[in-house]
Structure 1
Amino acid sequence: MNEMQSAALPQAKPEEIITLLFVDDEANILSALKRLFRPFGYRIFTAEGGAAGLEIMARETVDLVISDMRMPEMNGAEFLEKVRDGWPDTVRILLTGYAEIGATIDAINKGRIYRYISKPWEDNDITLTVRQALETKLLEREKTRLEALTLKQNEELKNLNATLEDRVKARTEEVRQTMGFLEVSHEKLKKSFITSIRVFSNLIEMREGRMAGHSRRVADLARTLAQRLGMKDAEVQDVFLAALLHDVGKIGLPDRLMEKSFSSLTSEERTEVVKHPAKGEAALMALEQLHGAAKFIRGHHERFDGLGYPDKLAGLAIPLGARILAVANDYDAVQLGTIVNKRLNQNEALAYIQEGRGNRYDPTVVDAFLGKMAKPVAESAETRPEIMLSSGQLQAGMKLSRDMMGNNGNLLLSKDYVLDAQLIGQIKNFERLENQLFTIWIYAKKGD
């Protein structure tokens, strides 16, 4: 007769309940074992012979078996040998009498039992033996689990290491490409920004025909002087932008003032005109990229001797960019007749700047300017050759080597602009519309 009792281990999860199987042909022995182990919370099965015990083993997961040695049909040694063959992880314990030493040895050899216990047993001895056997089994099970986990992790680590270098290379290349795309995008944005400023500068000059090209010429000269005087690239850029936009504060002036030279203005008119540097600064302060340029615009009519406007700054208190802009602006303006009542030629304009050295202008800036005019900076060995073409010779992909200007001096396309088929068509249409032919300078290809 088979009997079963199930109970949970103290503080144990259901999946951690230990299952015991007692096999003996004497019912009183099975009852005694059940009573002894019931308080420990084990799940207990009993069988009255080896065949019945094997049936239970086949359908249940059994952690430990205690089998009597002397049983009919199949003794304990034979039964435990079959358990070993079918369920090698199950702990096997043999109950044996003193007179069965030979059979016990056979069970040890064939069944590879964990331990044998002599009958009659001591309750403390048998419970302690079972506890120790189960602890050993659980330790071995955990060891096996950890070894399998370690093996799996080692394989994963091995695979990771094998692919890590390739993954790092791939990621590095991805980052490099991303940085390249960002640099290209930044450069395009920068060029578009500069072009927008130059177009806006042309719009400012359209109010007075004689001013066409003035801001562009001032910007080119101011940039060259800033470079000669060792300004940083970012500062050179600010000087260039300030030169393009230095007259932005004049937008609100009436036409009658725009048409007069500064020397011919009345006192009241001068009071109105001298506000334009401060107005120009205020107009640009909303754009963070133009803060540096705005500061130079405010100071470009200050004088080195402190008699300028709007703040009457003197000497090195005037920002260097503003001191540079003052020289570049006045050199072009006196040739246009916007400062004195007549237009000066180039030599007269040079003399005008030289006469202002130390009073109107910073001597260091004037010296750099005169040196530039006497001996232009030699072209870099890396300067690309260029060729002049007509619109009919243009091809998509060509890049402008100079600004493309209209006959009135207005900027049409900026230097370094890359032409495409649509833009070439627009150039040709504009030539027909305005009845004029453009001079277009393109970077020459190697071998041209």
Structure 2
Amino acid sequence: MQSAYNYKEFAILYVDDEEQSLKYFKKAFDSEFRIFTATNVRSGLKTLEEHRDDIGILMTDERMPGEKGVHLLGQARQLCPRVLRILATAFSDFDAAIQAVNSGAIYKYISKPWNVGELEIALRQGLEFFMVQRERDRLLKEKLSVLHNMMITDRLLSLGILAAGLSHHIRNSLVAVRTFMDLAPSKLQEENVRLDDLRNPQFWREFYDQVQAQIHRITAMLADLGGASDKSALSFLDKVSLSEVLASVLAKLKGKFDEKQIVVENQIPTSLPP
């Protein structure tokens, strides 16, 4: 029966100071798994760092010159916490295995000399566990991403509803302002007041025009806010003409450019496909 797992998708890193042990390990399992080997803690950490996305299991001997296998597993836990850590130890090193288990530094320990069949089963189970954990993390990340997007969408819709409510109240207030501004010229005539008779008629004309312009500006802004609260108004274009977009932006900013005597040319060809 064919396995549902690809056991060569992720590699096994085996660290042992005995070259012969590394040779036999690779010979026994190279056909079933991807194998990396290292002869000491420093070399093992370097290999783990270089291939951190490829390695699923780190297996190390306990007794090595210099730093012990437990130290390697402890550092590997900090470097790549998702990688499964296996300690290979003789019965004389049983205390070290217990210490490693209690500290949470290893997934399991293997007694030396190992049985090839039993070790193969343990490595298969370890890789399966690693891949299941990896898939679980991926699905959880996707779920959190979807939840995050839903929260953002809900917040945007809430802001849109709030904007629509504010728009309604501001529009009602603007009615009185606009009515006053529209009636002001005729009411002044009824009172026999002519702008030209005032001490600074130009000021009143410019101020009147500015107020009217601001009323139109606020009305346009309210229309945009109202559109933001309408789900049906939310649309995304598959294609955009860069020339048209730039021309629209330049038209809106023309007044500011003219004030600062800035000349901007739209050199995007209209024939450029969207």
TM-score (normalised: structure 2): 0.54
- Report the CA distance between 1:52 and its aligned residue: 1.4
Q: CA deviation at 1:38?
A: 0.9
> Is structure 2 residue 118 aligned with structure 1 residue 58?
no
Structure 1 counterpart SS, 2:81: coil
- Following the alignment from structure 1 to structure 2, what is the Cα–Cα distance between the partners of residues 11 and 111? 26
Q: Secondary structure at the match of 2:64?
A: coil
Pair 1:63–1:172, CA change in 2 (3 A) = closer
Indicate yes or no: 2:154 matched with 1:161: yes
Equivalence map 1:173-322=2 (5 Å):
none
Q: Kindly provide the CA deviation profile for residues 192-247 of structure 1, in whole angstroms up to 9, marking residues without a partner as x.
A: xxxxxxxxxxxxxxxxxxxxxxxxxxxxxxxxxxxxxxxxxxxxxxxxxxxxxxxx
Aligned to 2:17: 25
Larger RCO of the pair (alpha carbons < 8 Å, separation 6+) = 2
CA shift for structure 1 position 159: 2.1
Match of 1:45 in 2: 36
Q: Which runs of 4+ in 1 moved over 4 A?
A: 9-13, 171-174
Alignment match, 1:84 = 77
| Structure 2 partner of 1:116 | 109
Give the drift of 1:10: 10
Q: Residues of 1 paired with 2:67 and 2:231: CA distance? A: 68
CA 1:10–1:35 in structure 2 vs 1: closer, same or farther (change >3 Å)? farther
Do 2:59 and 2:85's aligned partners in 1 also have CA atoms closer than 8 Å?
Answer: yes
Where do residues 65-76 of structure 1 align in structure 2 (5 Å cutoff)?
65-76=58-69
| TM-aligned CA distance change 1:56 to 1:171, over 3 Å | closer
- CA contact under 8 A between 2:5 and 2:128: conserved in structure 1? no
CA contact (8 A) 2:58 2:85 kept: yes
Q: Does the aligned pair in 2 maintain the 1:77–1:111 contact within 8 Å? A: no
The aligned amino acid for 2:39 is E
Contact between 2:12 and 2:58, CA under 8 Å: does it hold in 1? yes
Equivalent-residue separation in structure 2 for 1:136 and 1:11 (angstroms)? 10
Note closer, same or farther for the CA distance 1:173–1:71 as it changes in structure 2 (3 Å cut). Answer: closer
From 55, 74, 99, the counterpart of 2:92: 99
* 1:362-416 deviation digits (Å, cap 9, x = unpaired): xxxxxxxxxxxxxxxxxxxxxxxxxxxxxxxxxxxxxxxxxxxxxxxxxxxxxxx
Paired residue for 2:127? 134
Amino acid in the other structure paired with 1:60: H
In 1, distance between residues paired with 2:231 and 2:90?
73
Q: 5 Å matches for 1:412-431?
A: none
1:44 maps to a residue whose letter is I
Q: Structure 2, unaligned stretches of length 5 or more?
A: 161-226, 235-274
Contact 2:14/2:58 (8 A) holds in 1:
yes
Contact 1:82 1:111 in 2 (8 A): no
Offset at residue 51 of structure 1 (A): 1.6
The alignment of Structure 1 onto Structure 2 pairs a total of residues equal to 163
CA offset digits 1:89-147 (Å, max 9, x no partner) = 11100111112111111222346200101011111211111111111111111111111
Measured at CA, do residues 100 and 169 of structure 1 come closer, stay the same or move farther in structure 2, by a change above 3 Å?
Answer: closer
- Which of the pair has more CA radius of gyration? 1
Matches within 5 A, 1:352-431: none
Partner amino acid, structure 1, of 2:230: A
- Equivalent position SS for 2:30: helix
> Shift in Å at residue 80 of structure 1?
1.0
Distance 1:70 1:111, change over 3 A: farther
- CA deviations 1:155-205 (Å, max 9, x no partner) are 11122233346479525799xxxxxxxxxxxxxxxxxxxxxxxxxxxxxxx
Counterpart of 2:58, as a letter, is V
- Any conservation in 2 of the 1:97–1:118 contact (CA below 8 Å)? yes
CA distance 1:70–1:171, change in 2 (3 Å) = closer
1:17 positional shift = 2.4
Query: Matched residues, percent identical?
Result: 31
Contact kept in structure 1, 2:14 and 2:22, CA below 8 Å: yes
Separation of aligned partners in 2, 1:27 and 1:118: 19
Rounded to whole Å, the distance in 2 between the matches of 1:12 and 1:129 is: 15
Q: Is the 8 A contact 1:77 1:110 kept in 2?
A: no
How many Å separate the matches in 2 of 1:101 and 1:11?
32
Relative to the length of structure 1, the TM-score reads 0.34
Alpha-carbon RMSD across the aligned residues, in angstroms, is 2.8
Q: Name stretches of at least 5 consecutive residues in structure 1 with no aligned partner.
A: 1-8, 175-448
2:230 alignment partner, SS class: helix
